[in-house]
């Protein structure tokens, strides 16, 4: 095999959001050296690729997706990295090796893990994985107020760090349902902007209303109780219908709940973009349900015991060695965060959720769930609201209104039941969309992997 040839192309380059503890260049150097200690010492988000000889290394956190595809060129394996599957495809098409591409041969880097791949030829070796995030589990007190303060304080600090990178005077949007997560982010964002010596009224909450949903009603009650009506804007789109096929193409995935969430998100973000063409910065509460295990177990094959025995299940899935692990995607929110990231990117927003940061996740993992829940599923469901409300009050001094939990796509409008879809339908659409693209490269000009450069 020919040596001394660059075998890594990163189509998007190193990226960060609210990064603390190291510069992005220092993170890149640590990834190149395979040193996980500097990665573990950072806060916020990053996604980085690097090469050391024949070894390629990649690392990311939840908030910034990172994928790769291994093509074959005359010198052997050739790794292409990007945030999206279609960006990997576009690069291959530009090199006239699109005929090698298959979306199901792409891989998503698991969050919180340093991935190492040796490019030594056929057959390709399996990636090696080393974690850089291993927080203590269940080590916190049994006091809800203390747990809430630690959790919300971590979210506040992450929000402040991210907002510090937003140009002073720039408006910030918050996707706001009036629920515990988005409500806390709205209040934390205002407090964080004030802590930076800026005008908290630059933070504006937006609520999607497709007609008959509970979000607009509870969001209105939330801001009314706290005297924040002037900083809230409902997005009333009673005749709008979520475009599920557009959502599948946008997030490049086929989990129905994520597809539905992204479809509704696209409607909300498009409405904000039409009203405020220059608005660029977006906050939301994604990750809050995962952190405090606030999902109805009845909607899945999960049991209370499986959730408690797998503390990072909702953030990372079953793990890279599990039978349920997908080769194309990572698991949990590590996979699903594209439901927020991709719609925001498509419509020109820079999105961030403080609840996806490792500091907030670590504070949530310190909650002694087993002792506090004591075998009761109902107690688990009630715990999140208690922790978040207590934390917001400890950090901001504001007693946050609470309302019954509901999913984004359900609360936005009462027609949700009429457009729910199955995983089989979503997967069929996903594969059909890619079949149309791949037909073009199979019928077009091809360059052999053995072809030498001119």
| Rounded-to-integer distance, Cα 25 and Cα 13, Å | 11
252 falls within a domain: yes
Give the residue numbers spanning the domain of 18: 8-133
pLDDT at residue 17 above 90?
A: yes
Burial class (CB in 10 A: 0-12, 13-18, 19+), 195: middle
| Rounded-to-integer distance, Cα 304 and Cα 311, Å | 11
Closest-CA residue to 154 (of 27, 36, 18): 18
Same domain, 213 and 282: yes
Same domain, 282 and 329: yes
Neighbours of 428 (CB within 10 A): 13
Cis amide leading into 374 (omega within 30): no
Contact 56, 49 (CB under 8 A): yes
Determine the pLDDT at residue 293.
96
Give helix 144-163 / helix 377-396 axis angle, nearest 10°: 60
Contact 183, 190 (CB under 8 A): no
394 falls within a domain: yes
Same domain, 267 and 399: yes
- The pLDDT mean for the chain works out to 92
Domain boundary among 75, 108, 133: 133
CATH of the domain at 199: 3.40.50.620
Same domain, 113 and 250: no
E runs forming strands in 136-188: 172-175
**Cα(first)–Cα(last) distance of the chain, in Å?**
18
Same domain, 118 and 148: no
Q: For strand 55-60 and strand 113-118, is the pairing parallel, antiparallel, or unpaired?
A: antiparallel
Q: How confident is the model at residue 415 (pLDDT cuts 50, 70, 90)?
A: low
440 falls within a domain: no
Identify which has the larger pLDDT, 4 or 192: 192
Closest-CA residue to 251 (of 242, 240, 261): 261
Among positive and negative, which fits the CA dihedral 320, 321, 324, 326? positive
Give helix 338-346 / helix 244-251 axis angle, nearest 10°: 100
Domain boundary among 83, 101, 133: 133
In the block, residue with structure tokens 């797998």: 310
139 falls within a domain: no
CATH of the domain at 25: 3.60.20.10
E runs forming strands in 314-443: 350-352
Determine the pLDDT at residue 418.
64
Q: What is the full DSSP assignment across 5-38?
A: ---EEESS--EEEEEESS-HHHHHHHHHHT-HHH
pLDDT at residue 129 above 80?
A: yes
CA atoms within 13 A on the CB side of 204: 19
Same domain, 280 and 395: yes
Q: How confident is the model at residue 238 (pLDDT cuts 50, 70, 90)?
A: confident
423 falls within a domain: yes
Q: How confident is the model at residue 4 (pLDDT cuts 50, 70, 90)?
A: very low
Determine the pLDDT at residue 77.
83
Same domain, 215 and 193: yes
Highest mean pLDDT among 93-107, 114-128, 218-232: 218-232
Same domain, 89 and 213: no
Contact 91, 85 (CB under 8 A): no
Tens digit of each residue's pLDDT (9 = 90 or more) over 252-261: 999 999 999 9
Kindly state the average pLDDT of the residues 265-273: 97
| Rounded-to-integer distance, Cα 5 and Cα 7, Å | 6
Determine the pLDDT at residue 123.
67
Domain boundary among 133, 153, 188: 133
Contact 46, 16 (CB under 8 A): yes
Determine the pLDDT at residue 1.
44
Contact 349, 277 (CB under 8 A): no
Kindly state the average pLDDT of the residues 378-393: 96
Determine the pLDDT at residue 109.
97
Contact 32, 60 (CB under 8 A): no
Closest-CA residue to 129 (of 60, 44, 63): 60
**Could you tell me which residues come within 8 angstroms of residue 82 by beta carbon, excluding any fewer than 6 positions away?**
10, 11, 12, 66, 67, 68, 88, 91
Same domain, 334 and 395: yes
In the block, residue with structure tokens 């040796």: 118
Burial class (CB in 10 A: 0-12, 13-18, 19+), 354: buried
293 falls within a domain: yes
Same domain, 259 and 115: no
Determine the pLDDT at residue 211.
84
Contact 400, 393 (CB under 8 A): yes
447 falls within a domain: no
The 10 Å CB-count burial string (b at 16+, else e) for 80-96 is: bbbbbbbbbbbbbbeee
Same domain, 126 and 181: no
CA distances from 418 to 202, 410, 413, 425 (A): 37, 11, 11, 15
46 falls within a domain: yes
Determine the pLDDT at residue 324.
73
- Tell me which of 81-85, 154-158, 308-312, 412-416 is least confident: 412-416
Q: How many domains does the chain have?
A: 2
Kindly state the average pLDDT of the residues 302-330: 90
Same domain, 40 and 183: no
Q: How confident is the model at residue 3 (pLDDT cuts 50, 70, 90)?
A: very low
Q: What is the full DSSP assignment across 416-432?
A: GGGS---HHHHHHHHHH
Q: Is the pTM of this model over 0.85?
A: yes
């Amino acid at each position: 095999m020919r040596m001394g040839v660059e075998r890594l192309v990163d189509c998007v380059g190193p990226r960060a959001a609210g990064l603390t503890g190291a510069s992005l260049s220092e993170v890149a150097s640590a990834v190149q050296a395979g040193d996980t200690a500097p990665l573990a010492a950072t806060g916020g988000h990053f996604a980085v690729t690097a090469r050391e000889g024949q070894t390629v290394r990649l690392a990311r956190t939840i908030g910034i997706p990172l994928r790769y595809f291994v093509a074959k060129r005359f010198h052997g394996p050739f790794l292409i990295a990007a945030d999206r599957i279609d960006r990997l495809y576009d690069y291959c098409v530009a090199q006239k090796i699109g005929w090698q591409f298959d979306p199901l041969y792409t891989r998503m880097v698991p969050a919180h893990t340093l991935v190492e791949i040796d490019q030594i030829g056929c057959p390709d070796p399996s990636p090696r994985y080393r974690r850089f995030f291993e927080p203590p589990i269940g080590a916190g007190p049994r006091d809800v107020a203390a747990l809430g303060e630690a959790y919300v304080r971590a979210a506040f600090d992450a929000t402040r760090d991210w907002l510090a990178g937003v140009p002073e005077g720039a408006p910030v949007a918050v996707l706001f349902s009036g629920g515990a997560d988005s409500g806390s982010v709205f209040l934390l964002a205002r407090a964080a902007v004030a802590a930076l010596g800026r005008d908290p009224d630059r933070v504006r909450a937006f609520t999607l209303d497709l007609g008959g949903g509970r979000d607009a009603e509870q969001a209105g009650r939330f801001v009314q109780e706290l005297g924040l009506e002037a900083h809230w804007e409902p997005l009333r789109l009673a005749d709008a219908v979520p475009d599920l096929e557009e959502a599948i193409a946008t997030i490049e995935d086929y989990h129905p709940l994520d597809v539905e969430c992204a479809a509704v998100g696209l409607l909300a973000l498009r409405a904000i973009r039409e009203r405020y063409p220059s608005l660029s910065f977006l906050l939301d509460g994604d990750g809050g349900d995962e952190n405090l295990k606030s999902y109805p177990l009845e909607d899945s094959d999960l049991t209370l015991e499986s959730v408690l025995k797998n503390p990072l299940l909702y953030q990372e899935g079953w793990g890279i060695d599990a039978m349920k692990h997908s080769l194309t995607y990572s698991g949990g929110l590590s996979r699903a965060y594209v439901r927020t990231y991709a719609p925001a990117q498509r419509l020109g927003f820079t999105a961030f959720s403080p609840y996806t940061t490792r500091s907030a996740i670590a504070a949530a993992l310190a909650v002694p769930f087993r002792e506090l829940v004591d075998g009761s599923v109902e107690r688990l469901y009630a715990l999140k609201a208690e922790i978040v409300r207590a934390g917001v009050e400890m950090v901001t001094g504001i007693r946050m209104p609470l309302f019954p939990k509901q999913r984004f796509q359900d609360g936005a409008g009462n027609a949700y039941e009429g457009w729910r879809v199955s995983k089989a339908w979503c997967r069929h659409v996903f594969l059909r969309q890619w079949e149309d693209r791949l037909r073009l490269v199979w019928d077009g000009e091809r360059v052999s992997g053995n072809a030498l450069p001119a």
